Amino acid sequence: MTILVTGSTGVIGTQVIEHLQGSGADVRALTRSPERANFPAGVAAFRGDLADITALRDAMKDVDTLFLLAPNAADELTQALQAVSIAREAGVKGIVYLSVFKGEEYTDVPHFTSKYAVERMIAQRDLPATILRPAYFIQNDIRLKDALLKHGVYGMPIGAKGISMIDVRDIGDAAARELLRRERSDTPLPRETYELAGPDALTADSIAQIWSAALNREIRYGGDDLDALETRMKSAGPEWLAYDMRLMMQRYQEDGAVASPREIERLTALLGRPLRTYRDFAADAARQWSAQ
């Protein structure tokens, strides 16, 4: 039993590998820098990335199941489509693909449309795959620590419509369960799709209230200013990515991204336990920050 994990050193990839520990599966991790990677014992590091076709073909040899996480790059779609084709050529019997919540609807957000195009390829080629569609990651808000602690501001302009944010540990758990289900099957399994969304429809005001309680101080919402978000993101990354994030936040403000009760029930059943909440995340973060 061999599983290949791409995006292995990132936020989600590390969670997937952690949740695969003790499963009995042989795990390969694709990484640009094996010498710097700190994988658990038993995980075999393979040098390469999704843009390196030769390395990807080598890593895919004798692999039964693939966890495919395409990087947030300008050529994300090309990399993902090529990886799916190479998996198909290699005879991989199961794919778990990390897509995005609302990908079919948010057609003006580049990385949403890119991920949905990969879903369309998987369906058109009738590949045995599980599509995981995560909502906005709860842990993204760790980056707001300074604004929360120094200025009393929640600065992510998510608006008032609501987002069903998901804990990255729940994403990793769901991915590992689906990887192992496909890995342990003697034959390729039919396609499945899961919306990975948290139990609460979170708004800017409700999150500010959660942080106020967690930090025991008043936290206010910084407002819906998308110009400020884009400027801030351009200072830390490429301009195209800053604009992509602006478009995503604009759709959150206009339409929200709230999961249905049925979608939450399906994910809860897959995990076999309640989903983690933003309130618990904020309380844990506040405890860690106060101890530093």
pLDDT of residue 117: 98
Q: Which amino acid, residue 33? A: S
Q: Which amino acid, residue 54? A: T
The low-confidence residues of the chain, meaning pLDDT below 50, are none
Q: Is residue 284 part of a domain?
A: no
* Number of domains, the chain: 1
- Determine the structural domain holding residue 82 and report its residue range: 2-132+168-195
Of 165, 19, 181, 215, nearest in space to 95 by CA: 181
Of 49, 28, 50, nearest in space to 39 by CA: 28
7-19 residues labelled b (16+ CB within 10 A) or e (exposed): bbbeebbbbbbeb
Packing angle of the helix pair 110-124, 76-90 (nearest 10 deg): 20
pLDDT of residue 1: 80
pLDDT of residue 243: 98
Distances (CA, A) of 62 to 55, 263, 285: 14, 34, 41
Q: Is residue 249 part of a domain?
A: no
Supply the CATH number for residue 12's domain: 3.40.50.720
Q: Is residue 157 part of a domain?
A: no
